[in-house]
Structure 1
Amino acid sequence: MRTSNHLIGLMNFLTFLASIPILGGGIWLSSRANSTDCIKFLQWPIIVIGVAIMVVSLAGFAGACYRNTFLMYLYLWAMFFIIAALIGFVIFAYAVTDKGSGRPVMNRAYMEYYLQDYSGWLEERVTTQSYWSKIGSCVRDSHVCGKTRRFVNGAPETADMFYRRHLSPIESGCCKPPTACNYVYMNETLWSTDGGLPAADQDCVRWSNDQQLLCYNCNSCKAGVLGSLKKSWRKVSVINIVVLIFLVIMYVVACAAFRHNKRMDNDESYGETRMEKEHPSRIQF
């Protein structure tokens, strides 16, 4: 009995530790939402699940230490629903970020991002004008485009150096015009439109050398945000899947140990009842 309680307590302690990466992933997504990705609602389910796992594992740990059957039942049922919620959330995260990725460009190290490559619930939400006005302002206020400026020996980097850079999806989609426009590179966020092909892409018309506008209203910028969000969520989903597998294993072991405790309690109760029947004179009044 004591060994089973110790095992359950250890499982709950390990479960508590497993909640830390989930909570950390949610906090990381929150920091990205405030600085880069600018999607400020998807991280909260992860944070809630991480906190819930922490609280429930503490309840299970207390139940194991004090042999409190109610707390153990609460732990097992609550953990069951938390695992189910985490499974559903991982599936949802992969479903909404399933489509779309950057396209390679000849003689460029960075990718180009096109809105038509994305579809589904997340794409519709991001491209809604009322919602995009907030996201676009967030991207602009993050100064991500200003951070793309680089200098070599005090001089701005050349076009060839810029073309060899691996830009992030947002840097590629929001901070420069699409390559198809054939605009001439001046610096990372300043391009000459002389000799360009504005009709090739509507984003060519939307591009502006005004540092407050750039390509924040371009479809490529919306695609860049979706591409950045996909990368962030896939990283967190890998951690969630690993933790989920661990939680399932811990849950199965905890269930087995709890059933063993109940069986031992029943055996002890049966043994005491049998002794009372066989030796009634030993009953103390």
Structure 2
Amino acid sequence: MGVSNNVTAVLNLIALLCSVPIISSGVWLSSKPDNECAHHLRWPIVILGTLLLLVALAGFVGAYWNRQGLLAVYLFAMALLIAALLFVTVFAFVVTRDEVSFSFPGRGYREYRLAGFSSWLREHVVDPEDWVKIRACLADSDVCSKLALDYFTADQFYTGHISPLQVRDLMMHELNKFWV
């Protein structure tokens, strides 16, 4: 067996081993029915892990036992996975372009308006049923648990460098205290 086949076999063995935790995390997420945020991620993670497992297995067997047919399937499948990854990356950048934020005088954080985002994202966020799910995910997150400890006054908060999610969560927390 040549050196390139050895290298390919070792890399695919590592990818094969890495696919197991990916599949395990997808199965773990599917065992958590109470988390609406994880609900949308569980099957794509399991499918991605399974595809990675199958492609790595084909590459390992093809390289270790010098099976040209399996190596051809491996190369084709790997090219498809790389193209899909590039598509998802470009899609994410197009949908969440950075032109939507603007500075607000006297604030250490940037403001965002829904009108600046892509129409695809606006349609999925404006739908009341989707917004209830999104709001539940944001409310369950730990993004802002330390904000009340870090900022004691309004001036410290307004001049602090915090993310828009942290601003939203802190304001929701304060509104809930007010209404309860």
Name the TM-score, length of structure 2 as normaliser: 0.69
**Is 1:105 matched with 2:104?**
yes
Richer in helix (by share): 2
- Which residue of structure 1 lines up, in the alignment, with residue 2 of structure 2? 2
Note closer, same or farther for the CA distance 1:83–1:142 as it changes in structure 2 (3 Å cut): closer
SS of structure 2 residue aligned to 1:157: coil
Asked if 2 retains the 8 angstrom alpha-carbon contact of 1:113 and 1:173, the reply is no
Share of identical aligned residues, percent?
Answer: 35
Which AA in structure 2 matches 1:173? Answer: R
**Which is higher, the Rg of structure 1 or of structure 2?**
1
- Which residue of structure 2 lines up, in the alignment, with residue 136 of structure 1? 135
**Is 1:173 matched with 2:168?**
yes
Which AA in structure 2 matches 1:124? Answer: E
Cα deviation digits, residues 34-63 of structure 1 (max 9, x gap): xxxx58637865664454234312321122
- Which residue of structure 1 lines up, in the alignment, with residue 147 of structure 2? 148
Q: Unaligned 5+ residue runs, structure 1?
A: 31-37, 178-187, 190-208, 214-285
Q: After the TM superposition, which residues 1-285 of structure 1 pair with which residues of structure 2 at under 5 Å, given as runs?
A: 2-13=2-13, 16=15, 38=37, 41=40, 45=44, 48-49=47-48, 51-98=50-97, 100-142=99-141, 144=143, 147-150=146-149, 157-176=152-171, 189=174, 209-211=175-177
Q: Unaligned 5+ residue runs, structure 2?
A: 30-36
Which AA in structure 2 matches 1:171? Answer: Q
Note closer, same or farther for the CA distance 1:8–1:137 as it changes in structure 2 (3 Å cut): closer
Q: Count how many residue pairs are aligned between Structure 1 and Structure 2.
A: 169
Asked if 2 retains the 8 angstrom alpha-carbon contact of 1:102 and 1:113, the reply is yes
Alignment RMSD: 3.8
C-alpha distance in structure 2 between counterparts of 1:109 and 1:165, whole Å: 5
Asked if 1 retains the 8 angstrom alpha-carbon contact of 2:104 and 2:111, the reply is yes
- Which residue of structure 1 lines up, in the alignment, with residue 34 of structure 2? none
C-alpha distance in structure 1 between counterparts of 2:142 and 2:52, whole Å: 36
C-alpha distance in structure 2 between counterparts of 1:79 and 1:73, whole Å: 10
Cα deviation digits, residues 93-148 of structure 1 (max 9, x gap): 22221254432121221222222222321221012111101212332333655542
Higher relative contact order (CA 8 A, sep 6+): 1
C-alpha distance in structure 2 between counterparts of 1:174 and 1:131, whole Å: 18
